[in-house]
Amino acid sequence: MFTQLHKTFMIESYFRNGRKVEGEWQYSVSDCLEEFRNEFPNLAVDENSFRCTLRRVVQVFRDTGSVGRKEGTGLTTKRTPELTENVRQIMDDAPSLRVLSQLTGVSNNTAGDSIQMLREFVDDRIISLNTEHEFPPRSRDITPCDFFLWPFLKNSIFKVPINNLAHLQEQISEKINEINQNPLMLQNVFNGVRRRSARCLDSG
C-alpha cells in the first residue's frame, strides 16, 4: 500500500516532529499521520496500518540507515580524531553545513551527536530545532503552496514521463483543474492552514 516515497516522507515527518522532553526524545505518531494526510490527501490511510508501517520503517531505518530493507551506506557514523580534524579544517576554510554534511556523511539535521559536534566548531551559533536559536518548526509550512500544492503537483505529474514543456504545462493545468473540482481536498488544505497556524501560535 505504501510506496518508497510514502515511507521516506513518514520517516522524515516522524523525526521532524520529535521533541526533547526532560532529556528524552519523544515522537508523535499523530502529528506524523496528520502531516502524511496533508501531503497525500488523495490516499485513504487507515490509522492502524499507518502506525504498523511507521513502526516497521523506523526500526529498519534505525537498523540500516535506510527506509528499505538493505544495508546502510557504509559512511562514517562515529566521530574519529581524523574526522574531527577534517571537519575543523573544512570549517576554517569554508564553514558551509551543506559541504560539511556531504564530506563527512553526517546529516546536518537535529541529530544530537551532529549538533553537539557542530557546537564544538561554531559555539552556540546554530539555528535549528532543539538548540539555543530555534526557528518555529512549521513556519515555512504554513502556506498552502509549500505544504500542499507543490508536493501534490510534483508527486502526481511525474508519475508518468513528461515528453516536453507543452506536455508539462498541460499536466499542470489538468491537476490544477482537478484540485479546483474537489471541494473536500480544498477544505483539507484550509484545515491544514488553521492547524499549522495554531501550532505556530502555541509554540510562541
How confident is the model over 65-92, as pLDDT tens digits? 776 655 444 555 566 777 777 766 666 6
Predicted confidence at residue 110, as pLDDT, reads 44
pLDDT over 50 (residue 117): yes
pLDDT at 45: 86
> What is the model's pLDDT at position 72?
46
The C-alpha angle 150, 156, 157, rounded to 5 degrees, equals: 85
Query: Is 178 a residue whose pLDDT tops 60?
Result: yes
Residue 137 has pLDDT above 80, yes or no: no
What are the angstrom distances between the C-alpha of 138 and each of 3, 16, 55, 61?
25, 10, 24, 24
Rounded mean pLDDT, 149-163: 85
**What's the mean per-residue pLDDT of the chain?**
76
| For residues 30-55, average pLDDT | 88
Greatest CA separation for the chain: 59
Residue 68: per-residue pLDDT: 64
56-80 burial code (b ≥16 CB/10 A, e <16): ebbebbeeeebbeeeeeeeeeeebe
pLDDT of residue 163: 83
* Continuous H helices in the chain: 4-16, 29-39, 47-64, 81-93, 97-104, 112-122, 144, 150-157, 165-180, 183-203
Query: What's the CA gap between 177 and 160, in Å, rounded?
Result: 18
Q: Stretch 120-128: mean pLDDT, rounded?
A: 68
Q: Is the pLDDT assigned to residue 31 strictly greater than 80?
A: yes
Confidence band, pLDDT 50/70/90 cuts, at residue 111: low
